[in-house]
Amino acid sequence: MGYAPSALALVPFVSVENMMRIVHAVGIERFLAALAGYIEEDFRRWELFDKTPRVATHSREGVIELMPTSDGESYGFKYVNGHPKNTKEGRQTVTAFGVMAEVDTGYPVLITEMTILTALRTAAMSALAAKFLAPEGARSMAIIGNGAQSEFQAVAFRSLVGIDRLSLYDIDRTASERCAKNLAGRGFDIAVCASPEAAVEGADIVTTVTADKQYATILTDNMVGPGIHINAAGGDCPGKTELHRDILLRSSIFVEYPPQTRVEGEIQQLEKDHEVTELWQVITGKAAGRAGRDQITLFDSVGFAVEDFSALRYMRDLIRTTPYFDELDLLADPDDPRDLFGMLMRAAALPA
């Protein structure tokens, strides 16, 4: 008789294929809205979480990171990379997977792909921040940088904020045209622009989400008028920025976790004591968000482990209602927990 692990030894695993099935079964806008809801719930209990800047290994070509956190009951981490050169080799710039485990036993309860889930999580986080920071009645958004994240951002902002007019710009016009094609039929009025200046003109919200790992000036100071909300989602590691420093000095800046953002975000250009507001404080009402019509608000988004925890928590709950997962024989399950060696030796008699 072969080895038969108990149910306790089987860990749910969501593959890329099954993640896509789940998103389509739920519907992408409903999925993004629900995911944003989980993130908001966790930001409202922010103080419960263990928090640390992500553990990063940097190279000339990119970065590999681990992003752990716990709320005392569950533990989650994400493995993620960022390698802008990969697209030239036909590979993804960002890939990821994640694990959620029980704190009281240490046993994993979920393993999932997070390449697609991170794209969804990043967009949901951006739109959630805009719900609290964007000008009232915002309908138009410029997206500067039309790589893999751009469509997710657009759909999330439509779902949570009500954006229905898009201006797209990328140095590679074919990227903008692909984005426009992918978003066709989703209720947007879309313009593909010849310059970032043309894209930004008249926009209520500007999202910058470029991939190059360098100090860049995607937005110059003269491009940013009063009352705009900037969703700076592309500057997410040391040595990588998108906004001119003068924009930061004119803006009310909101961040996820300052010790991480000061190293990786747009504010790495500023003095370490420059005032910023943590977004969880705005969500819980402990700090003001948008306070005036002409105020420039800036969400300096780098992505934080609590958001990935929320995504893992959402998936853990969601797979209880769907058949779209596999079970992995991941955990040793001897009859006697102290007899791991005996289980190994008995395996010699199992058929090949």
- What whole-number distance in Å separates Cα of residue 263 and Cα of residue 266? 9
SS (H, E, C) 83-117: CHHHHHHCCCCCCEEEEEEECCCCCEEEEEECHHH
Contacts of residues 101-108 at CB distance under 8 Å and 24 or more positions apart, as own/partner, are 101/74, 101/75, 101/76, 102/73, 102/74, 102/75, 103/70, 103/72, 103/73, 103/74, 103/75, 104/73, 107/8, 107/331, 108/11, 108/330, 108/331
Marked catalytic residue, from 170, 204, 236, 300: 236
- What's the one-letter identity of residue 331? L
- The residue to which tokens 């657009």 are assigned: 154
At residue 23's C-alpha, the angle toward residues 19 and 29, to 5°, is 150
204 is catalytic: no
Residues 6+ apart with CB under 8 A from 256: 278, 279, 301, 302, 303, 304, 306, 307
- What whole-number distance in Å separates Cα of residue 94 and Cα of residue 90? 12
Are 122 and 150 in contact by the 8 Å Cβ rule? The answer is no
Q: Which two tokens stand for residue 234?
A: 């592309």
Catalytic residues: 236
